[in-house]
Amino acid sequence: MGKKTEKSVRSVLLGLTGASMFLGLILLIVGAVMVSGYSVFLDFITGRYLESAVFILVMGVIVICVSTIGFYAALKSHYCMMTTFLSIMVVVILCELVAAVTTFALNNEKSHDMGMRRKLKESLEMYGSDSSPDQTAAWDLIQTELKCCGLNDVNDYSSSSFTTQMGHLPRSCCGPLELNRVGEAELCKPDTTSRYKAGCGVALKSFLSGKCGVLGAMAVIVALVQIIIIVGASVLVSKWKVPGQCYPCY
């Protein structure tokens, strides 16, 4: 292979391995964002949701590290390091596809939905209790973030100790409240205009489904692009050496 051709092959390989690093960075960022999003609702969701996001994040780190090896191998025209990079990337792609299937499957597993609703129901029963301030804070957070009220709807608060004692709904069940003539905000009640209509059970499920869809789709897209990169890199690497000849790594 002539020097000019070899230089061209090296340049293309540098571009392919660089693209692989970029894809790893995307996985890392998406995984980190999802972990951050899930962490808000850890009191209610099952661990599988968080685990799937962490797995994508870890895969991003691995892809970046392995692609760095490939980039260095392309830069130095190092045959053995490049074949090592390609071999590891095949395993990584398989893991990404498994992660995608697992993530999509979360949306269809009834056991996770039942576990989530059970946690929500048990937590809601303790809302406003002096002995469970964490549960109150957790519900205020979920109702504010997802713009929802109660597990199924506002009627979940009709017989709660909080409503019975206070005579109104939690402030987090409503959006912006109107001020009266003396500048005091109105109370959040079932007939308040800005009260959230959706139940938090449905709202949280919708939120999680959207996150799972993004994670799964991202894993599939990245895996498909990486397959193209690996195939292209394999074809170019085969031009470095005569097939069948053994070369030591050093």
Whether residue 110 is predicted with pLDDT greater than 50 in this model: the reply is: yes
Residue identified by tokens 């402030």 is 171
Q: What is the crossing angle of helices 79-106 and 200-237, to 10°?
A: 160
CB-CB contact of 207 with 38 (8 Å): no
> By C-alpha distance, which of 5, 60, 71, 11 is closest to 31?
60
Q: What is the pLDDT of residues 10-63, one digit of tens each?
A: 788 888 889 989 999 999 998 898 888 887 777 777 677 888 888 889 999 999
Q: Residue 160 corresponds to which tokens in the numbers above?
A: 């709660």
Identify the band that residue 245 occupies on the pLDDT scale cut at 50, 70 and 90. Answer: very low
CB-CB contact of 77 with 6 (8 Å): yes
185, β-bridge pairs: 179
pLDDT average, residue stretch 129-156: 86
> By C-alpha distance, which of 59, 56, 49, 57 is closest to 88?
59
Q: What is the pLDDT of residues 194-203, one digit of tens each?
A: 889 889 888 8
Q: What is the pLDDT of residues 172-186, one digit of tens each?
A: 899 888 776 666 778
- Could you give the CA distance from residue 78 to residue 10 in angstroms, rounded to a whole number? 10
Indicate the DSSP class of residue 224: H
- Could you give the CA distance from residue 50 to residue 40 in angstroms, rounded to a whole number? 11
The full set of domain ranges for the chain reads 3-109+219-237
Identify the band that residue 94 occupies on the pLDDT scale cut at 50, 70 and 90. Answer: very high
Identify the band that residue 248 occupies on the pLDDT scale cut at 50, 70 and 90. Answer: very low
- Residue 209, classed as helix, strand or coil, is helix
pLDDT at 250: 38
Who wins on pLDDT, 4 or 61? 61
